[in-house]
Amino acid sequence: MSEPEECPMVTMEQLVSLCKRRGFIFPSSDIYGGFQSTYDYGPLGTLLKNNIKAAWLRAVVQERDDMEPLDASILMHPRVWEASGHVAVFNDPLVDCKACQGRFRADHLWLIVASHGEETKHYPIEAGEEEEALAKGRETHQIGKRWDVTAVPMVIDSPDGTPKLCPSCGGAESFTEPRAFNMMFQTQVGPVEGNITYLRPETAQGIFVNYENVLVTMRRKLPFGIAQVGKAFRNEIVTGNFTFRTREFEQMEIEYFCWPEDGPRVHQEWIDTRLAWYERYGIARENLDLYEHPDHKRSHYSTRTVDILYRFPIGFAELEGIANRTDFDLSQHAQFSGKTLDYFDTKSERRVVPHVVEPSAGVDRNVLAFLTEAYVEEELLDQKGQKSSRTVLRLHPALAPIKAAILPLAKNRDELVACAQGLARELRPHFQVQYDDTGAIGKLYRRQDEIGTLYCITVDHQTIDEDGQVTIRDRVPQ
RNA sequence: GCGGGAGUAGCUCAAUGGUAGAGCUCCAGCCUUCCAAGCUGGUGGUGCGGGUUCGAUUCCCGUCUCCCGCUCCA
């Protein structure tokens, strides 16, 4: 056998295929032809996902002295979402350009207006480009005469006199009517119509509304944090790229409460901590990147947001967002609920609304990232000198769905089978193991390679006839 | 949602207006003392609904799903 050659980069097709073939992830409602943007985790995917969540909880709760776990409900009082800003913000009005098919948030369209006496020129831009466009506009219009250059919002659905121009193609009056897309799933509570709430679009609010409960019952002082894993739902306009963007997804979120002046430092510490966690569980640093959100892209609640990006098959994309939410959420909930959510420090006699740092990771994106990172296809020559390829998942031991496979070398001898089955029975209380005797040993090894099994334990004739020893093969050399 | 492309077995792919095939996988049996060996047999399919037709997997319409782009984010 020659030295295996590794192929450079896994494609999304290869991952999807492996996931379905080996029982990691299936299309949801498969026998009905699937259902848009929904996926089910199969037996191995469930084990992998649970291992990822356990590894996260272990790192952010068990191994720290400043963290508490929580499991809040998905349905909450509808006022929660008014306080959080989601009712307003998740109602983005969108317009399409009929000329170029471009799509824009209606409230993100701006015009640079350059005027000089009777003469007026308009340049359409998108929010966030104002400063740059203003500077450029002033520069180009200063030659010769003095122009007055300003930036104004382009109001699509009101006849305010300014032209409606497409920033992409320049088309005039080519926008569709603004349509509101409420990103929250509305749902009815109880059998009587009219009593509604929402499926939570983030788990974070479940933490904020329990902040005081946890603070008091766990006798916490600042700083401390609350960690939660759970489902969230967003009625995304566009889904896709396998499980990367779905309407139902799972989050691993931390809200870390600290003194206001410590917010920026704590924020940076969490960025470093979370990066280190991904490396600890096997993600190469060169496949991780950080993205600093520019002002205009940041959420309504945040003063600084840094994304941890991973090199997915689709390119670098967000795996986790770490935001400094300041005192926005607690202040909002104090106002909307009428409860005091101040923190009083008896020693310094200070009263503050704590600031909050939020590391928010996507569980499904984590699964996808760890699978991407682990996937290796090796080209090698078999006994006959034929080229063949072997798929190996190199998962971290703590994440691997199956820890060991117990394989009899052959199944035409009862003692081999009985011994191997006995061994599997002995290991089962301690580890997730698989017993397999349905093929030649080489085939059994390859099956386990493909699902990232850590150890293959083979019972051979020597085990029975001589010394009771088995062969343990380490399939995932670190 | 808009524009473009695509749906045949678990996977990769073939074929035809007239009984839908192959390789691999999978299952059972035989064989086998360590990296997808061999032999025999077997399961399994035209996404869904409607129309045209004597007959539709093939032609037409609708629908669902997937992929690429626009947009948003965990």
pLDDT in tens, A424-433: 999 999 999 9
In this prediction, residue A390 carries a pLDDT of 79
d(CA A351, C1' B6) / Å: 62
The DSSP code for A97 is: B
3-state helix, strand, coil split of chain A in percent (to 5) is: 30, 30, 35
Distance CA A364, CA A368 (A): 6
Comparing A64-73, A165-174, A451-460, the range with the smallest average pLDDT is: A165-174
For A166-190, write each residue's pLDDT tens digit: 776 666 666 766 666 677 888 888 8
Predicted local distance difference test score (pLDDT) of residue A92: 63
Contacts of A376 (CB under 8 A, 6+ apart): A6, A7, A391, A392, A393, A394
List the A334 CA – B15 C1' distance (angstroms): 69
Burial-class residue A154 by CB neighbours within 10 Å (0-12, 13-18, 19+): buried
A315 nearest nucleotide via C1' and CA: B68
Give dist(CA A357, CA A200) in Å, integer.
Answer: 20
- For the ranges A55-64, A83-92, A287-296, A464-473, the maximum mean pLDDT occurs at A55-64
Nucleotide nearest to A458 (CA to C1'): B34
This model's pTM is above 0.80 = yes
Please state, in angstroms and as integers, the Cα–Cα distance from residue A141 to each residue in A129, A137, A145, following that order.
18, 6, 7
What's the whole-number average pLDDT of chain A?
84
Q: Which nucleotide is nearest to A445 (CA to C1')?
A: B35
pLDDT digits (tens, 9 = 90+) for A72-128: 999 999 999 989 888 876 556 667 666 665 667 777 777 778 877 777 777 777 776
Nucleotides of B under 7 A from a protein CB: 1-3, 7, 10-12, 25-28, 30-38, 47-48, 64-74
Q: Work out the average pLDDT over A209-218.
A: 95
If pLDDT is split at 50, 70 and 90, which confidence band does A370 have? very high
Which nucleotide lies nearest residue A94, CA to C1'?
B71
**CA A46 – C1' B10 distance (Å)?**
20
Does the pLDDT value for residue A164 go beyond 80? no
Between CA A29 and C1' B65 the distance (Å) reads 11
Per the structure, the residue whose CA is closest to nucleotide B38 at C1' is: A440
Structure-model confidence comparison of residues A313 and A257, the more confident one: A257
**Once rounded to an integer, what is the mean pLDDT over residues A16-36?**
82
* A47 CB-contact burial (10 Å; exposed 0-12 / middle 13-18 / buried 19+): buried
Nucleotide nearest to A183 (CA to C1'): B72
User: Can you tell me the distance from the alpha carbon of A437 to that of A460, in angstroms, rounded to the nearest whole number?
Assistant: 12
pLDDT > 90? residue A1: no
Q: What is the ipTM of this complex?
A: 0.84
Question: Rounded mean pLDDT of A132-153?
Answer: 71
Separation between the CA of A17 and the C1’ of B41 (whole angstroms): 29
First to last CA, chain A: 21
- The SS3 call for residue A271 is helix
Does the structure show a pLDDT above 70 at A231?
Answer: yes
